[in-house]
Amino acid sequence: MILLSTLFQNLNLEDWCSDTTNLIVATLVISAITWYTWLFFLKPKAQSPPLPPGPPGLPIFGNLLSLDPELHTYFAGLARTHGPIFKLWLGSKLAIVVTSPSMARHVLKDNDAVFANRDVPAAARAGFYGGSDIVWNPYGPEWRMLRKVCVLKMLSATTLDSLYHIRRNEVSKMVRHLQSRVGSPVNVGEQAFLTVMNVIMSMMWGGSVEGAERETMGAEFREAVAEMSALLGKPNLSDFFPGLARFDLQGVEKQMQAVVLRFDRIFEKVIGERLKMEAEGKGNDSKDFLQFLLNLKEEGDSKTTLSITHVKALLMDMLVGGSDTSSNTVEFAMAEIMHKPEVMKRVQDELEGVVGKDNMVEESHLHKLPYLLAVMKETLRLHPTVPLLVPHCPSEATSTGGYTIPKGSRVFVNVWAIHRDPSIWEKPLEFDPERFLDAKWDFSGNDFSYFPFGSGRRICVGIPMAERSVLYFLATLVHMFNWTVPEGEKLDISEKFGITLKKKTPLVAIPTPRLSNPDLYQ
């Protein structure tokens, strides 16, 4: 009972048993926990090869009570004690953590098909239309259909090229806004988020946030996205004891559903307007993502039909995943290069040589900026957007390194720790873009010493969009402005763990124009 009290206290459940009904539920909880204890800790198991090593756990809870909120660093510390593959019991859920290139290769390449499924948390089911999106969808025909839609149509080089005018327009708006704030502190991550969000909204359905509404609605969107990310990364009893999921004891699903409703209203509105136009015979010559998806839905497929739920789930992936990850990378990159003035100067010198001091950056310049690309790669080495990748789930038992990885376990790949491994990287904690100038490392996921976007079948489908967006926004920020930290403040580069990695303290900096021609800022 002491352990129960401790767990409930840690999970903010002190008032949970406040009336008779909840006391009945509490009794059911304790009964379920007793059953799980017998099933997973007392029932004899024949295991050959054995499970990986790991820290000792408590009855019922396993290692739950010892978890550190900063999971990426906590897992890295356990790997130093228990080796490159270890296990944790999270209630009834077995978690396997791999922290070496060879182990990552086993999961993501050698046994790619076996590990292609997801262990979908309750928050993800509530947040992404039951897991109907490309991130959480089970591996199979439906997922292959969604990936084909994204890779060949929505995010192909041809499609992205055709929508460059949208990105250019939104970057110009960002420049004008920053010009209006010259000499005043600016939240760099927030501005990056607003710009990425507007780009994605315009590409998806031709909408963006203008004028004064840009600040208020953008801040609301960012808060909603941050809340979704926090709920996805929050320890949840529903995941650790699936028999208790129906009770949603911590209210995670309820909270997620409230956040999703804010996005769903927007999706319903824009989809409804398009369908109404079609019903009225007005037609629509839009070339945005939404129209493409609606056309595809009407065409249908005998094997895998695209539904309105799929459409909304893909829009959610684009809006939430694309805006959060890209803006976080821009913010980390700006913080790192501001922290090392010699890197900032080299980036600006390269931009002056390619772009010139009388021009704005265009996407056509990006392939001529190898040092800027190296800055992006180094940023993603130190601060990968999803530090543990999205958890994998084997469809059958497999073995590696002399240990069994059971079917249905939750497998974490600690890419953050691999990217900082001193046996792989020289001076791994130092921000040094030059290590990426030899073009050895890329985002393909083929080298398991560096794979910030994952690898294999489940590699991130948004790499082309992310690379263009981050480089374009970063180049514009550095070329058009000089940046300084407000007087009396220190530059902080520390991280805050979540399903996506964020700066613990937002980057606030003061912009001043670098270029002499004022027309470039208008």
Q: Is 299 part of any domain?
A: yes
Q: Is 356 part of any domain?
A: yes
Q: Is 18 part of any domain?
A: no
Q: DSSP for 150-201?
A: IIIIITSHHHHHHTHHHHHHHHHHHHHHHHHTTTS-EEHHHHHHHHHHHHHH
* Beta strands 93-98; 410-413: pairing state: parallel
Q: State residue 475's pLDDT score.
A: 98
Whole-number Å distance between alpha carbons of 16 and 8: 8
- Structure tokens, 375: 């800055």
Amino acid letter, 455: S
Range of the domain at 454: 47-521
Amino acid letter, 270: V
Nearest alpha-carbon partner for 362 in 480, 442, 466: 480
Q: State residue 214's pLDDT score.
A: 59
Q: Is 274 part of any domain?
A: yes
Q: State residue 280's pLDDT score.
A: 77
For the chain, the domain total comes to 1
Q: Is 24 part of any domain?
A: no
Whole-number Å distance between alpha carbons of 385 and 452: 7
**Cβ count near 227 (within 10 Å):** 16
Q: Is 386 part of any domain?
A: yes
Q: Is 11 part of any domain?
A: no
Q: Is 494 part of any domain?
A: yes
Query: How would you write the pLDDT of the chain (522 residues) with one tens digit per residue?
Result: 333 344 434 444 344 334 434 544 554 455 455 555 545 554 445 557 999 999 999 998 999 999 998 999 999 999 999 999 999 999 999 999 999 999 999 999 999 999 999 999 999 999 999 999 999 999 999 999 999 988 887 888 998 998 899 899 999 999 999 999 999 999 999 999 999 988 888 888 886 666 656 566 667 788 888 899 889 888 899 999 988 999 999 999 999 999 999 999 989 988 998 888 877 776 666 778 888 888 888 876 656 788 999 999 999 998 888 888 999 999 999 999 999 999 999 999 999 999 999 999 999 999 999 999 999 999 999 999 999 999 999 999 999 889 999 999 999 999 999 999 999 999 999 999 999 998 789 999 999 999 999 999 999 999 999 999 999 999 999 999 999 999 989 999 999 998 899 999 999 999 999 998 999 998
CATH number at residue 238: 1.10.630.10
Q: What is the reported pTM?
A: 0.89
Using the 8-state DSSP alphabet, how is residue 515 labeled? -
